[in-house]
């Protein structure tokens, strides 16, 4: 995704990760990041995810496409609202209430340690009819530079954490932190029923550019494609809430409908 800032957020996330003994790989730093709308793709070779020690006896999941999704299931005039980095006890409930008030469903890309820390919020997201997306265990934006074993652990451990927190609902998408996709990570996620998910409009709400700037970005860039990126964690999100309150009715006025990314 885009650059996240705030050392306090990094400290909380790292502390959560270190408290889970199974997550030795989650020691990577929550660092400043840069991404593109399509996500970075490493030329690293693809090896078979079936060789991973993370395979277990769970029922086989639906296989989905490996390429990075952007389109909406609502067609050419559809918009996908995506909310990253939570759940957060302060901001996620407020985002959920706003979405309910506006009659909009969204896709929540959750960090594994956050889902584990706030399972009731994960259940609230599911109960409200939104979809879940795997955003890895520790939000390491340098994943595309790490080993396949590391990528596997980050993705599949997060899948387990989110699924457990939700009460058994699996994430339907995988969004690489900072767009740090690799051919291997896309193949692995797809083999577990998680469609790789990109974005077309980066609101840069994490930078606190001001409500007017966030709204203007959506209005000027929605012609680039339907998937819009917001955040409900990683810092103070009052600007995000205010901007969503303006953007959602504006999109409806322009003839857009709200849906989910294609799978």
| Mean per-residue pLDDT over the chain, rounded | 84
34 has a pLDDT exceeding 80: no
Task: Give the count of domains, the chain.
Answer: 1
pLDDT for 25: 39
Residue in 84, 85, 202, 205 annotated catalytic: 84
Asked if residue 191 belongs to a domain, the reply is yes
94 has a pLDDT exceeding 90: yes
Q: Can you give the CATH number for the domain in which 224 is found? A: 3.20.20.370
Asked if residue 148 belongs to a domain, the reply is yes
pLDDT for 184: 98
* Structural domain containing residue 152: 80-259
pLDDT for 61: 64
Asked if residue 234 belongs to a domain, the reply is yes
Confidence class for position 121, pLDDT limits 50, 70, 90: very high
149 has a pLDDT exceeding 60: yes
Asked if residue 50 belongs to a domain, the reply is no
Residue in 85, 130, 231, 232 annotated catalytic: 231
Give per-residue burial for 22-41: e unless 16+ CB within 10 Å, then b: ebebbebebeebebebebbb
DSSP string, the chain: ------HHHHHHHHHHHHT-TT-GGGGS--------SS-EE--PPP--GGGSTT--SSPPPPP---SPB--BTTGGGEEEEEEES---TTTHHHHHHHHHHHT---EEEE-HHHHHH-HHHHHHHHHTT-EEEE--SS--TTGGGS-HHHHHHHHHHHHHHHHHHHTSPPPSEE--GGGEE-HHHHHHHHHTT-EEB--SEE--GGG---HHHHHHHHHHHGGG-SEEEEESSSS--HHHHHHHHHHHHHHHHTT-EEE-B--
Asked if residue 238 belongs to a domain, the reply is yes
Confidence class for position 63, pLDDT limits 50, 70, 90: confident
Catalytic site includes residue 88: no
Asked if residue 10 belongs to a domain, the reply is no
Asked if residue 72 belongs to a domain, the reply is no
pTM here is: 0.79
Question: Per residue in 193-252, pLDDT tens?
Answer: 999 999 999 999 999 999 999 999 999 999 999 999 999 999 999 999 999 999 999 999
């Amino acid at each position: 995704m885009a650059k996240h800032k705030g050392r306090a957020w990094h400290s909380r996330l790292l502390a959560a990760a270190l408290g889970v003994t199974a997550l030795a790989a989650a020691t990577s730093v929550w660092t400043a990041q840069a991404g593109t709308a399509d996500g970075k793709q490493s030329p690293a070779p693809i090896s078979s995810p079936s060789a991973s020690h993370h395979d277990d006896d769970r029922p086989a999941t639906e296989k989905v496409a490996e390429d990075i999704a952007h389109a909406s299931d609502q067609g050419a005039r559809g918009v996908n609202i995506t909310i990253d980095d939570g759940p957060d006890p302060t901001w996620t409930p407020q985002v959920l209430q706003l979405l309910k008030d506006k009659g909009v469903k969204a896709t929540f890309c959750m960090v594994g340690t956050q889902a584990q820390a706030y399972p009731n919020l994960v259940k609230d997201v599911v109960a409200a009819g939104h979809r879940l997306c795997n955003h890895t265990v520790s939000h390491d934006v340098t994943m595309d530079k790490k080993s396949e074993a590391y990528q596997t652990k980050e993705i599949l451990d997060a899948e387990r954490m989110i699924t457990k927190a939700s009460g058994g609902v699996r994430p339907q998408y995988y969004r690489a932190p900072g767009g740090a996709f690799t051919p291997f990570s896309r193949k692995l996620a797809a083999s577990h029923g998680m469609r790789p998910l990109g974005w077309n409009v980066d609101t840069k709400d994490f930078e606190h550019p001001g409500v007017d700037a966030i709204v203007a970005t959506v209005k000027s860039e929605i012609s680039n494609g339907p998937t819009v990126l917001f955040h409900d964690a990683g810092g103070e999100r009052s600007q995000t809430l205010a901007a969503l309150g303006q953007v959602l009715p504006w999109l409806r006025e322009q003839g857009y409908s709200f849906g989910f990314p294609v799978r």
